[in-house]
Structure 1
């Protein structure tokens, strides 16, 4: 029976060396999880005999267990690289349509604009409504086609934070034909088709702490003769006075900027509540509006909360999706299928989907990757130990062969 003991030891040690060699080979593989061979003794039992008659007949590899400990996180600076710090897996859809799970977050955009892994599997996530910010409940493949521009958004509000010179005594003379006079500024608003319409704002002091606000859409029009946008007032400290201010919406008619297909004129609200009247010259601290022209996708990046932020040629950056994470009751029950991917099994249980940072799901690190969790030093020591075990079992077989030779040669 010693031949069987030694042979089983050789087989087990060989499989152990295979596992160790696989770990060492993947010491630099992104998201790789090391495995270890777990052994069990083999026992033969005589039928009808008591337990005292059972005897060992060798060893076998009972299981190859995966070690899902956290790997080191290395910063790469790539805007599509993302690492999981904690529990969870990225869910991906393989080319055959089946689901798989991975810890390797080195993603990229393919020629069709799909967010994919190095193996070509599509990354799954929750689509986000850019208007409401709400996301879908079902994960789906993420795609960002470069040839699909975002629709223009009509301007509905202008916000200006400026300072009007408190030292002005008389009504200020405003020079026409100049979009930026001594007490004036301008900004482009956008119609429903994304065509820019210039709006000029002028301020004329009409009394103590009060100013008239004028607007023009045509720089050749005398501001004081154009429709007024109301009055802005300040208190004795130069702070905006909402009770004394009376601003009216600006009516925008895009006929001059879009004569061939002009949209219907519309009203734009004017917010000057952050303006001041201090004893310093006129200055514009901030001037914004909430519309934009249509734009093409220029780049995407993944933030630490898994949000996929898309940047467009019109200057708009908005959340388009959120990367989904999956977790399992027993991750060690997952089946490795190669390419840094696992698939669920009966032992792992079904995938539970969620968002990064929620509940038991790990957080994400943008612009970084999770390294292999292989401890190279430990694996080299394990390899030497496994090699010694292999040699010892080989010696067992050699010794048994010598014993058998002695028995054969007895006369």
Structure 2
């Protein structure tokens, strides 16, 4: 019976849905995390009576027809790239982007990765790096005798060196944008890399037209809403249960047919 295959496809689709929801919930406290959702499409149809088929010599046509679908499949798990809440941390190397744009990070293999996680640290050389030691791009190094470390809304990094009375500009934090930011590929560690779908990075300074601004002493939290995820989880569970009941009903029908004398 087709019902077995159709219901099985529904159960597999809802299993994927639960997997996506569980990953969102697991990352509720991940800095800069962007939640995902599962998108589905119906499968091909078997037409037993096509719409518009002529039913008589005078050209009468079937107004609706008869067709049966083959189930469902998961077609995509897009990321929802909305802004997460901005939380104050009080740490001078913590930075958040308010608006559009990603920090640029240099990977060990020479590629550039992109992130909304601005929890930066200073390495042994005084260079700003991520929690995993990846260097911010462009690189910014803070002298050992620096004080009053500040990052402006436009990304200018300044310190007072030694006994100087004026600030010294150490460098400029830039931001990258993409035509299709949903096309970025997540590689873990709160990092994304560009793909053919995302288009090339468009780099500019914070505060430029179309780009967000920098908030020092703040971090962007995940954009996961617990109540929404739990509601989606309950809906996915119910859909899974209903598909399992269809398999049970189809099995009972097949058994009744087999018992006919």
TM-score > 0.5 by shorter chain: yes
How many residue pairs are counted as aligned between the two chains? Answer: 246
1:7 is aligned to 8
2:92 is aligned to 79
Whether the 8 Å contact between 2:140 and 2:170 is mirrored in structure 1 is no
1:342 is aligned to 192
Whether the 8 Å contact between 1:19 and 1:35 is mirrored in structure 2 is yes
1:362 is aligned, of 179, 197, 212, to 212
* Separation of aligned partners in 2, 1:27 and 1:3: 36
1:68 is aligned, of 75, 81, 97, to 81
1:403 is aligned to 253
Q: How does 1:6-405 map to 2 (within 5 A)?
A: 6-45=7-46, 50=50, 52=65, 54-124=67-137, 140-144=138-142, 146=144, 296-298=145-147, 300-315=149-164, 316-405=166-255
* Separation of aligned partners in 1, 2:175 and 2:210: 11
* Separation of aligned partners in 1, 2:142 and 2:87: 27
* Separation of aligned partners in 1, 2:134 and 2:149: 18
Task: Describe the SS at the equivalent of 1:120.
Answer: coil
Which one has a larger percent helix, Structure 1 or Structure 2? 2
Q: Choose 106-115 or 350-359, whichever is displaced more.
A: 106-115
Deviations 1:31-84 (A, max 9, x none): 01111111111123469x846464311111111111011111111111111111
| TM-score of the aligned structures, taking structure 1 as reference length | 0.57
Note the C-alpha offset of 1:143.
Answer: 3.0
Alpha-carbon RMSD:
1.8
Unmatched runs of 5 consecutive residues or more in structure 1: 125-139, 147-295
Unmatched runs of 5 consecutive residues or more in structure 2: 52-64
Whether the 8 Å contact between 1:305 and 1:357 is mirrored in structure 2 is yes
Note the C-alpha offset of 1:409.
Answer: 2.3
Note the C-alpha offset of 1:113.
Answer: 2.1
Whether the 8 Å contact between 1:94 and 1:120 is mirrored in structure 2 is no
Task: Describe the SS at the equivalent of 2:103.
Answer: strand
Note the C-alpha offset of 1:303.
Answer: 2.5
Whether the 8 Å contact between 2:35 and 2:79 is mirrored in structure 1 is yes
| TM-score of the aligned structures, taking structure 2 as reference length | 0.88
